[in-house]
Amino acid sequence: MKFLPGVIAMAATVVASNILVQFLILDGILTWGAFTYPIAFLINEVTNRVYGPKAARQVVFAGFVTGIICSLIGTQIMLEFGPAVAIRTAYASAIAFGAAQLLDIAVFNRLRTQAWWKAPLISSICGSILDTVLFFTISFALFITIFGAVADEQIAWASETVPLLTFGPDAPLWVSLAIADWGVKMAIAVIALVPFRAFVRYLMARTA
């Protein structure tokens, strides 16, 4: 399997992100996991460019399974204020990751014949938007009640009303978390064009 390094890299990125999400920064608006998670899009796109969408889907599947395992483990680890991974967050993580990565593949494939930077940049932006919306809405939005009272209680803290991004108008905390997370994803989508170009050139040369 030529793209085995991609499978390993994706799994490692998912594991690292699940660990680093426990470490808060900037008054709790972000976690260190926010900076590692977008690497999954880079891995997906490099694989897609070099080996094609079928290989990219296999790499994504490896990350998806790894994420589910991490979430299942996290729901069983009890911390001071509850499980390391809330029930709703576990579902949200799997749904958001799978949907966003598959969208990334589809958009990338539509743009793969255009300028080299368009496919990775636009697919990352589209995937990141979907990932952020799905994850934070499923995890924390109060209008979603299908998970039950226990699951809702685990994430009640995220609905606390606070200044948006610590300085704006009052809004639920999770809205600030979503905006900050999305901002990091957008920044990394641009920065990742550099390693994308480098990895693609290297791998293309090896497979030539």
Per-residue model confidence as pLDDT tens digits over 85-94: 999 999 999 9
Domains and CATH numbers, the chain: 4-207 (1.10.1760.20)
| Higher per-residue confidence, 207 vs 95 | 95
Task: Report the pLDDT averaged over residues 173-177.
Answer: 97
Question: What's the rounded Cα separation, in Å, for the pair 131 and 134?
Answer: 5
Question: Could you tell me the pLDDT band of residue 195, with boundaries at 50, 70 and 90?
Answer: very high
Percent of the chain clearing pLDDT 90 (strictly above): 93
Helix (H) or strand (E) holding 112: none
Question: What's the rounded Cα separation, in Å, for the pair 143 and 128?
Answer: 23
Question: Could you tell me the pLDDT band of residue 48, with boundaries at 50, 70 and 90?
Answer: very high
Question: What's the rounded Cα separation, in Å, for the pair 29 and 34?
Answer: 10
10 Å CB burial of residue 100 (0-12, 13-18, 19+) is: buried
Q: Indicate whether this model's pTM tops 0.85.
A: yes
pLDDT tens per residue across span 106-119: 999 999 999 999 99
Structure tokens of 168?
């704006």
- Phi first, then psi, for residue 86 (nearest 5°) are -70, 155
Question: Could you tell me the pLDDT band of residue 64, with boundaries at 50, 70 and 90?
Answer: very high
Q: Is the pLDDT of residue 1 over 80?
A: no
Task: Report the pLDDT averaged over residues 15-35.
Answer: 95
Question: Could you tell me the pLDDT band of residue 2, with boundaries at 50, 70 and 90?
Answer: confident
Query: Which DSSP letter does residue 81 get?
Result: T
Task: Report the pLDDT averaged over residues 118-141.
Answer: 98
What pLDDT score was predicted for residue 82? Answer: 87
Task: Report the pLDDT averaged over residues 54-62.
Answer: 98
10 Å CB burial of residue 146 (0-12, 13-18, 19+) is: exposed
Question: Could you tell me the pLDDT band of residue 207, with boundaries at 50, 70 and 90?
Answer: confident
Q: What is the average pLDDT value for the chain, to the nearest integer?
A: 96
SS (H, E, C) 118-178: HHHHHHHHHHHHHHHHHHHHHHHCCCCCCCCHHHHHHCHHHHCEEEHHHCCCEEEHHHHHH
Task: Report the pLDDT averaged over residues 180-192.
Answer: 98
Task: Report the pLDDT averaged over residues 60-70.
Answer: 98
Place of tokens 């029930």: 87
Place of tokens 């395992």: 69
Helical segments of 21-86, H only? 33-36, 39-51, 53-76
| Higher per-residue confidence, 79 vs 123 | 123
Place of tokens 């799978």: 98
What pLDDT score was predicted for residue 81? Answer: 81
